[in-house]
Each structure stands twice: as C-alpha cells, then as structure tokens.
Amino acid sequence: MNNVTIEMAKRGDKKAQEQIYIEYKDKIYTFCFFRLNNRDDAEDLTQDIFIKIFKSMATFKGGNFKAWIYRITINHILNTMMRRKDFTELRKNTAVLREKDVIETLDIERALNKMPEKFSLLLILREKEGLNYKELSSVFAVPIGTIKSRLVKARELFKKFYGGKNG
C-alpha cells in the first residue's frame, strides 16, 4: 500500500479507503475465518475491523501499514473473544468443505486452541498470512529476537498438540 493512498485515506478520501479495503479485505476475512471457523461471524468481524481501521486512520503515524492493520485485527478478535461467552462454540462450527479438509481443519484448530493465544496468533500470522519478522515485531510490539524465540516455542507447541495428541 503506497503512502499517498494511506495519507488520502487518513483525510477521509472514500476512494483511498476503498483501495485499502480491496487490498486487505480477503486477508482479514481469511484470518478471521481461520480463527472463528464460521463464515457469517468472520464477515461480521471483518466489517467491524474495517470500521475500526478507518476510524483509527488518524492514529497511524507511519511505519508498516500492514502490521498496523494486523495489530488492530488481533486486538479486535481478542476483545470479541473476551466479550462473547459463546465464542468457543462458534469456533467449533466449520465451513462446508470436503470431509478430508474438515478433519484437517479441525485438527489444526484443536491444536491452535490448546496453545496460548500469543503463540497461536503469531503462528497464524507467520505461516498463513506470511508476515515477516519485522512485521510481526511491529504487530506484537516486541523485539525481533522475541518473535523468533516465540515462533520456535509456537512451532513446538503446535507439533505437540497437532494430530489429536494430548487430549
């Protein structure tokens, strides 16, 4: 995303905001869906996140825009999880996929659910969304060295829990 578009969006330019929405909507939706496993909830959350992004544009002071968007996304998802008592049940709902995909998706989701949130979110952003160390450092507001060590731990936890092991 170029700086001109970001600056225009900060001033409320609808076309610039639309460009940002088009650029990031599928990524944010996919991230929400992967966490929720429910299309309707992922769509609702995606819309809420973009409302929050555009209301918060003035607070973006430069730097990595993609990381800034993911920080807002993660915070919104975590806040939603804390507010919703039925969230655990929603995460168990699955999309209509082939049976093999459903089983694999559920195994992955179970493993991620057993992990502390800071590790599961980090792993998803690195492996699924492709954020680099610098972007992850910005999203989580910790040094790159911490990101690297947390990724090692996250991968160890994922291997431990993937495939139905440990309960």
- Alpha-carbon span 38 to 81, nearest angstrom: 14
Confidence at residue 63, expressed as pLDDT on a 0 to 100 scale: 84
Share of the chain above pLDDT 70, in %: 81
* CATH class name, domain 1-93: mainly alpha
pTM of the model: 0.63
* pLDDT, tens only, 5-44: 999 999 999 999 999 999 999 999 988 887 777 788 889 9
- Alpha-carbon span 86 to 88, nearest angstrom: 6
Locate the domains of the chain by residue range. Answer: 1-93, 97-167
42-51, 74-83, 158-167: range with lowest mean pLDDT = 158-167
Confidence at residue 92, expressed as pLDDT on a 0 to 100 scale: 47
CA distances from 38 to 46, 75, 110 (A): 12, 19, 15
Which two tokens mark 30?
Answer: 């996919």
Q: Is the per-residue pLDDT at 127 higher than 90?
A: no
- Alpha-carbon span 146 to 156, nearest angstrom: 15
* pLDDT, tens only, 62-102: 888 988 998 899 888 877 766 665 445 444 443 333 445 55
The larger pLDDT score, comparing residue 137 to residue 101, is at: 137
Confidence at residue 165, expressed as pLDDT on a 0 to 100 scale: 47
Closest by CA position to 17, among listed 27, 31, 7: 7
Mean pLDDT of 107-130: 83
- Alpha-carbon span 131 to 104, nearest angstrom: 23
Q: State the average pLDDT for the chain.
A: 81
End-to-end CA distance of the chain: 43
Confidence at residue 96, expressed as pLDDT on a 0 to 100 scale: 38
Q: What is the SS3 assignment for 94-133?
A: CCCCCHHHHHHHHHHHHHHHHCCHHHHHHHHHHHHCCCCH
- Alpha-carbon span 26 to 128, nearest angstrom: 13
Hey, which CATH number is domain 97-167, 1.25.40.10, 1.10.10.10, 3.10.350.10, 1.10.287.90?
Answer: 1.10.10.10
Q: Are 73 and 30 in contact (CB under 8 A)?
A: no
